[in-house]
């Protein structure tokens, strides 16, 4: 995809250009409609309808991209965690993602996944399944799905507590320490006794 210096769309992947324009608007806090996204992308007002039936479909596509980006952030360049401490680093990455991309994070989790948005459902499920797999690897005797729900609930709650100002979101090193210690406290309680 190429854009002009003013951000207008010239040729290439229309869907990607529309998603990029919508993501920019979302992260700038600018309310968007399909027409506004078309204007930002430099295409006709009807062009978005080739890929998105309505604003809800566009938002679902943005959320799907967010889930994929979050999963990549949690997995790329990392070895499979072998301990609760290593798994806690994924929790830190999760919260940092939320703090770096707050509008996207809120969009990802602000609406329930429905069967009408299969890609979004799949992307969210892949994140949950990844966590269950990692927990089963570290705690083979535990109920991995339940433990995954608890761990996800913990880091997700911490993400929103920081986003909503209930916990200080800076400095980043303090956020990381807070997430690590909370995560490790919960997971160490599930470690097998020796």
Distances (CA, A) of 61 to 38, 64, 71, 118, 177: 15, 5, 15, 10, 33
CA-only gyration radius of the chain, Å: 19
pLDDT at 1: 40
Q: Are 135 and 81 in contact (CB under 8 A)?
A: no
Reported as a pLDDT band with limits 50, 70 and 90, residue 93 is very high
Q: What is the mean pLDDT of residues 162-181?
A: 96
Q: Would you say residue 20 has pLDDT above 70?
A: yes
Predicted TM-score of the model (pTM):
0.85
pLDDT band (50, 70, 90) for residue 155:
very high
> Residue 4 above 90 pLDDT?
no
Judged against a pLDDT cut of 60, whether residue 57 lies above it is answered with: yes
**Are the CB atoms for 97 and 186 separated by under 8 Å?**
no
pLDDT at 5 over 70: no
For residue 74, the tally of other CB atoms under 10 A from its CB is 19
CA dist., res. 137 & res. 41, Å (int): 44
- Which tokens hold the place of 159? 């993400």
Is 100 in contact with 24 (CB distance < 8 Å)? no
pLDDT of residue 6: 46
Longest CA pairwise span in the chain (Å): 66
């Amino acid at each position: 995809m190429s854009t002009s210096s003013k951000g207008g769309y010239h040729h290439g992947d229309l869907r990607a250009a529309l998603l990029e324009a919508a993501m920019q608007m979302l992260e700038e806090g600018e309310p968007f409609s399909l027409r506004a996204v078309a204007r930002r992308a430099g295409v006709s007002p009807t062009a978005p309808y080739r890929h998105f039936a309505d604003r809800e479909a566009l938002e679902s596509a943005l959320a799907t991209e967010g889930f994929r980006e979050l999963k990549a952030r949690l997995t790329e360049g990392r070895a499979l965690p072998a301990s609760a401490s290593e798994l806690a680093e994924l929790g830190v990455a999760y919260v940092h993602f939320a703090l770096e991309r707050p509008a996207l994070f809120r969009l990802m989790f602000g609406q329930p996944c429905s069967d009408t948005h299969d890609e979004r459902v799949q992307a969210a499920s892949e994140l949950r399944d990844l966590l269950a797999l990692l927990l089963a690897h570290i705690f083979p005797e535990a109920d991995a799905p339940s433990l995954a729900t608890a761990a996800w609930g913990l880091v997700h709650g911490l993400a929103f507590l920081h986003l909503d100002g209930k916990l200080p979101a800076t400095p980043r090193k303090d956020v990381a320490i807070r997430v690590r210690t909370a995560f490790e406290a919960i997971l160490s309680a599930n470690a097998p006794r020796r």
